Amino acid sequence: MYSVITKIMTLPGIILGLSLHEFAHAWMSDKLGDPTPQRQGRLTINPIAHIDPIGFIALLIFGFGWGKPVMIDPGYYRKPRRDEFLVAIAGVTMNLIVAIVLSFPTRWLMYNAGSSDLMSIVFYIFYYAVVINLGLMIFNLIPVPPLDGWNIITQIFDIQKYSWWRYVYQYGQWVLIVLICLNVTDIIISPVIQFFLKLLQLA
């Protein structure tokens, strides 16, 4: 029962984190001249436009997940490498911003919730939202396809010009699944989350 209640309290954070992450990709690409996200109805914070059912359930049950990828057309960009980098980093930046903003009410609730059950529930909803957004940020920064981290290093180092890039991109999702199954991603993510929680004075 405790586990079920905990999962329910994580729902707002999951919905918020996934929706704003994908919206940030769409918004940035639109601002850089690409009409594709707007045509696909992605310039909205409405979760229905961004939540992938399987990715949502995976995040809820297994602790990792994904939203509907935002389709972009780099052909509209004036400076493709720079602009693709900006689009790639927009999602994780949004998750960091959300975590920082939510840390303020979370910190207040941590010291003022007292013995009230209702206030404690509200505190944990905010706390889990902070943790989930930090987790989404760090997870997506892992430099393995199809995560944002791979697109970021691709544009920084211009590695898509090498022949091996296509093969890594093609099979990267299987590498990611192996890393998740071997708990490597958790080994990476957990200490970084704790680091940020300490910075935000929540640990």
Tell me the mean pLDDT in the region 178-196. Answer: 94
Tell me the mean pLDDT in the region 59-88. Answer: 90
Q: How many structural domains comprise the chain?
A: 1
> For residue range 57-73, what is the model confidence (pLDDT) as tens digits?
887 777 777 889 999 99
Residues with active-site annotation: 22
Q: Report residue 51: phi and psi, to 5°.
A: -80, 125
Domain span at residue 17? Answer: 2-199
SS (H, E, C) 5-66: HHHHHHHHHHHHHHHHHHHHHHHHHHHCCCCHHHHCCCCCCCHHHHECHHHHHHHHHHCCCC
